[in-house]
Amino acid sequence: MICKPSALLCLSSVWGVLLQVAAVKNKRVSQGQFPATKDVTAIEGGTVNLTCRVDQNDNTSLQWSNPAQQTLYFDDKKALRDNRIELVRASWHELSISISDVTLSDEGLYTCSLFTMPVKTSKAYLTVLGVPEKPHISGFTSPVMEGDPISLTCKTSGSKPAADLRWFKGDQEITDVEKKQERDSNGKTFTVISVLDFRGDRKDDGAIVSCRVDHESLNSTPHIAMQSLDIHYTPTVRILPSTPLPQEGQQLTLTCESKGKPLPEPVLWTKDGGELPDPERMVVNGRELTITFLNKTDNGTYRCEATNSIGKNSAEYILIINDPNAYPGVAATDHALIGGIVAVVVFVTLCSIILLGRYLARHKGTYLTNEAKGAEDAPDADTAIINAEGSQVNAEEKKEYFI
């Protein structure tokens, strides 16, 4: 370039050209610069990292801003006085910061800015999960009488989103329950309530009913509350003999097995609706009745009665003394078997005799008739045989059928 007499004008023209060239160059470079961010999720009270990356950067500054558009970090320089916010990494290609002790108010849209011409931005949404409180079970008053209604309420607050409550009895889940949820006073978290209704049953005494809180913030370790059931019920009673076939002269012990809550103590033994007749041979020791030397006068109905504060129940045992020289069970079986065999043999014999008699009667009558017809006009026995219809001469014409 050749400048004219005015040197100042020449210099100004050259500078203008240089600025235009630089502007074009910056524009070309900036077209390849784009900040990249990702949405993140944090648990209330935890720590979260916000990362902004630029693949192509010609020493252009990066900045992180919070949802209120307050600058948190400009390159490696901290702009907001918040001890929870720290610098993780700062370079021309990346700006990463961390926020510790995250609160629900930290949730929102964060902005990463790349100061090119024009400024380019990328946004990342921070979601904060509200951790549900440990559940509490209420409504159980111990003890509960068998058959009485039971209503248990499980409650947890502070979850975001709303937590899920599940009931279990032992390892078995109970699905027929009532659930409801409502917002807490802060307007962000939820209180969840679940009610379990059922009736007291003796089989549930001592069972553990648990309420479990499931929520994504708990990292597969749910909160659990437990309630042990205390059910009172009337006794159940049965009598167990020491031998199934008591015999005269033996000793017999009858054990009264009673179950109930409270445990029924003691038990009452009676015979045929009255007191035990021979206290010297019939000894009661706790739940056991022992008859030391059996005889046939001991035959009868023995009753054991158990009582607790809920009610009473009883069981009976019928005593029949067996002959020690006999084996009733085996004898009865043998007699029945022998009787059955004899009955079958008699029946088969009678049937055989009847069929044989009918056969002989028919067979004999046919031959007598033929011989009689042949012997009516015969002068002697030889002629009678020859003239008989059953002879060999008439064999082809006459046929006989035997049944």
Q: What are phi and psi of 215, to 5 degrees?
A: -160, 145
Residue 272: HSE in the Cβ half-sphere, 13 Å Cα cutoff: 7
* SS3 of 246-287: CECCCCEEEEEEEEEECCCCCEEEEECCECCCCCCCEEEECC
Lowest mean pLDDT among 131-145, 260-274, 279-293, 337-351: 337-351
Edge-first strand order for the sheet with 208-214 is 172-174, 164-169, 208-214, 223-228
Find out whether 78 and 85 touch, Cβ atoms under 8 Å. yes
pLDDT band at 325 (very low <50, low <70, confident <90, very high): low
The model's pTM: 0.64
pLDDT at 391: 46
Query: Rounded distance, CA 165 to CA 22, Å?
Result: 64
- Mean pLDDT on 48-67: 93
Average pLDDT, the chain: 84
CA trace torsion 276, 282, 288, 294 (10° rounding): -110
pLDDT tens figures, 166-196:
999 999 999 999 999 999 999 999 999 999 9
Secondary-structure percent of the chain, ordered helix, strand, coil, rounded to 5: 20, 40, 40
pLDDT tens figures, 135-173:
999 999 999 999 999 999 999 999 999 999 999 999 999
Q: What are phi and psi of 340, to 5 degrees?
A: -65, -45
Find out whether 191 and 184 touch, Cβ atoms under 8 Å. yes
Q: What are phi and psi of 256, to 5 degrees?
A: -90, 105
The answer to whether residue 328 scores a pLDDT higher than 50 is no
Cα 372 to chain centroid, rounded: 94
The answer to whether residue 321 scores a pLDDT higher than 70 is yes
Query: Rounded distance, CA 180 to CA 137, Å?
Result: 15
pLDDT band at 403 (very low <50, low <70, confident <90, very high): very low
pLDDT tens figures, 222-259:
999 999 999 999 999 999 999 999 999 999 999 999 99
Sign of the torsion angle spanned by Cα atoms 155, 159, 161, 167 = negative
The answer to whether residue 394 scores a pLDDT higher than 50 is no
The answer to whether residue 59 scores a pLDDT higher than 90 is no
The answer to whether residue 84 scores a pLDDT higher than 50 is yes
pLDDT band at 73 (very low <50, low <70, confident <90, very high): very high
Query: Rounded distance, CA 65 to CA 314, Å?
Result: 81
Q: What are phi and psi of 193, to 5 degrees?
A: -130, 135
Query: Strand, helix or coil at 386?
Result: helix
Q: What are phi and psi of 61, to 5 degrees?
A: -70, 150
pLDDT tens figures, 17-46:
433 543 444 444 445 589 999 999 999 999
pLDDT at 378: 54
